[in-house]
Amino acid sequence: MKRLILLPLAVLGLSSQALPQNKLVVNADQGKETIDRHIYGHFSEHLGRCIYGGYWVGEDSPIPNTRGIRNDVVQALRNIQIPNLRWPGGCFADEYHWRDGVGPRSQRPKMVNTHWGGVTEDNSFGTHEFLDLCEQLGCEPYITGNVGSGSVEEMSKWVEYITFDGESPMSNLRKQNGREAPWKVKFWGVGNESWGCGGNMTAEFYADQYRRYATFCRSYGDNRLYKIACGPNDADYRWTETLMKNVGNRMNGLSLHYYTVPKTWGDKGSATQFDEAEYFTTIQKTLFMDELLAKHSTIMDRYDPQKRVGIITDEWGTWYNVEPETNPGFLYQQNTLRDAIVAAVNLNIFNAHCDRVKMANLAQTVNVLQAVILTDKEKMLLTPTYWAYYLYKVHQDATLLPISLKSNKYELNGKAMDAVSVSASRNAAGKIHITLVNIDPNKAQAIEAELRGVAAQKISGKILTSAKISDYNSFGNPNAVSVKDFKDAKLSKGILSISLPAKSVLMLEVE
């Protein structure tokens, strides 16, 4: 506390009246659930400048690339240990015919990307390019097959083309197209948003379709498919109930889509111009993810008490109005410190539900929606959301530690929410990581954390914050918001005293 008094109160965002202390208990010697690294996954669709320009520039581009894929983007994603990448959609998946995207590029047929701007898709980025991208990233592919406008045979043959190791029409075609050995693909989605852009189906109809399509998606050799059914649109609990009843253990995962839209779908709000009331609503809507996961899990528990079927939150993130002067069908939006707070709060929520949530994929990696990377021709920048992932990568495959938290409130216009959000884990080497978010954009938080069951010796940390909640990285100022070393945590007799600045995301490492 002494150190707090020495610092100017305004710098800390503290009012002259002392705030009550936030109390955190971390049970460092407990915990039984693993935080699946796939919770830190991503999603990239043939949409706007995500694939084209974002990853794919072609072999002849002056932008440094490996077999057509930009090196800077690959390196940045490796630095956050991207565990998986979902592709080719999204809505695009249900109008994608994979055979158009293999073979010599010059001979690949073109198509209209009807969902996203009506642009011509030349199919130059297809199966081989995507799986090469995943190999360069060192991540697992997650492919979504076409149920809406494709056939059972088409999906079945795609699996055979990619994964069959032996003599077959599809594996021969793969070899003819330059890839001798099969790839390993575990995560396989059977349709996307089949309740909407993927075919406007009823839950009952889709459940039957899933059973049909999934039957013919074979696990060849030692490639074991983890089949993911199209799950509910946010709070559609009936969809979950129907799928659990009619499909049950025939699926390994059930997807969930939920976007944080600050205002309405008609006017979603600006990515960079927002007042505190809009910020408050954004976080409130983000916190709804916790309720969604709890309620869908409760339904699933009735049919699957052993939790064999995972929730796969394969589309989530902020969705704003597109940046002015950009193609409305390209969903290009800037990304501020607000987005990093949204990401960090969501990741804490996913960690807390890791007994059921086995994967989550932020929409959509590069240049689309809540991107971690933005590009402008040869330039690339890392968004505040990127830096949240950078801080949180420590939780991948670590053991979730039980915590209890008594938090101050962040209040605005008579409404309140907890100011602090926390998650803690212990990795294989025994290190403890605590990620904390101070949601309050105005007040710092003094946190007293008791670390039970561990003799902590050393503490270090990294923090993400900025002067304004709407600060962002631009191509003119690409490092305006980024991570810095954190020194305001003090360890004494197993008690950690933390001074968490307003609107910040912090990662502490305890040894």
Active site residues: 193, 315
Question: For ligand AHR, which is the closer residue by CB, 46 or 358?
Answer: 46
The span from the CA of 194 to the CA of 125, in Å, is 24
Q: Minimum distance between the CB of residue 315 and ligand AHR, rounded to whole angstroms?
A: 5
Our finding on whether 83 is near ligand AHR (CB under 6 A) is: no
CA 387 to chain centre: 13
Question: For ligand AHR, which is the closer residue by CB, 315 or 471?
Answer: 315
Question: Which of 2-10, 34-42, 362-370, 392-400 is the region at the interface with ligand AHR (rule: CB under 6 A)?
Answer: 362-370
- SS3 category, 337: helix
Closest CA to 89 of 384, 380, 368: 368
Beta strands in 140-225 (DSSP E): 140-145, 187-190
- SS3 category, 116: coil
Give the β-pairing of 119-121 and 140-145: unpaired
Q: Which two tokens stand for residue 122?
A: 């030349």
What mask of x and - would describe binding to ligand AHR in positions 364 to 393, judged by CB under 6 A?
x----x------------------------
Question: For ligand AHR, which is the closer residue by CB, 14 or 360?
Answer: 360
Q: Minimum distance between the CB of residue 289 and ligand AHR, rounded to whole angstroms?
A: 16
The span from the CA of 317 to the CA of 302, in Å, is 29
Our finding on whether 94 is near ligand AHR (CB under 6 A) is: no
Our finding on whether 192 is near ligand AHR (CB under 6 A) is: yes
Question: Which of 27-35, 65-73, 192-200, 452-460 is the region at the interface with ligand AHR (rule: CB under 6 A)?
Answer: 192-200
**What is the DSSP code (8-state) at residue 56?**
B
CA 80 to chain centre: 12
Question: For ligand AHR, which is the closer residue by CB, 191 or 441?
Answer: 191
Closest CA to 190 of 236, 226, 239, 164: 226
- SS3 category, 285: helix
49 touches 368 (CB < 8 A) = yes
Give the β-pairing of 253-260 and 226-229: parallel
From first CA to last CA, the distance across the chain in angstroms is 23
The span from the CA of 63 to the CA of 66, in Å, is 10
Our finding on whether 191 is near ligand AHR (CB under 6 A) is: no
The span from the CA of 459 to the CA of 497, in Å, is 11
Our finding on whether 231 is near ligand AHR (CB under 6 A) is: no
What residues numbered 237-256 form the site for ligand AHR, per CB under 6 A? none
Question: For ligand AHR, which is the closer residue by CB, 91 or 373?
Answer: 91
Question: Which of 245-253, 363-371, 446-454, 458-466 is the region at the interface with ligand AHR (rule: CB under 6 A)?
Answer: 363-371
Percent of the chain that is helix, strand, coil (3-state, to 5):
30, 25, 45
User: Which residue among 36, 121, 193, 440 contacts ligand AHR (CB under 6 A)?
Assistant: 193
Give the β-pairing of 459-464 and 483-486: antiparallel
Q: Minimum distance between the CB of residue 363 and ligand AHR, rounded to whole angstroms?
A: 4
What mask of x and - would describe binding to ligand AHR in positions 285 to 324, judged by CB under 6 A?
------------------------------x---------
The span from the CA of 182 to the CA of 171, in Å, is 8
Question: For ligand AHR, which is the closer residue by CB, 244 or 369?
Answer: 369
Closest CA to 397 of 349, 451, 351: 351
Q: What does each C-alpha distance from 166 to 152, 171, 335 come to in angstroms?
A: 22, 7, 47
54 touches 41 (CB < 8 A) = no
With contacts defined by CB under 6 A, how many residues of the chain interact with ligand AHR? 11
Q: Minimum distance between the CB of residue 316 and ligand AHR, rounded to whole angstroms?
A: 10
What mask of x and - would describe binding to ligand AHR in positions 41 to 80, judged by CB under 6 A?
----x-----------------------------------
Our finding on whether 121 is near ligand AHR (CB under 6 A) is: no
Question: For ligand AHR, which is the closer residue by CB, 83 or 89?
Answer: 89
Closest CA to 213 of 149, 151, 160, 142: 151
User: Which residue among 41, 54, 89, 231 contacts ligand AHR (CB under 6 A)?
Assistant: 89
In the bound state, the residue with its beta carbon closest to ligand AHR is: 90
User: Which residue among 162, 362, 363, 481 contacts ligand AHR (CB under 6 A)?
Assistant: 363
Our finding on whether 91 is near ligand AHR (CB under 6 A) is: yes
Q: Minimum distance between the CB of residue 312 and ligand AHR, rounded to whole angstroms?
A: 13
Question: Which of 121-129, 190-198, 217-225, 410-418 is the region at the interface with ligand AHR (rule: CB under 6 A)?
Answer: 190-198
Q: Minimum distance between the CB of residue 116 and ligand AHR, rounded to whole angstroms?
A: 8
For residue 183, give the amino acid letter.
W
Q: What does each C-alpha distance from 300 to 14, 201, 258, 352 come to in angstroms?
A: 44, 21, 18, 17
What residues numbered 156-175 form the site for ligand AHR, per CB under 6 A? none
Which residues lie near ligand AHR (CB under 6 A)? 45, 89-91, 192-193, 197, 315, 363-364, 369
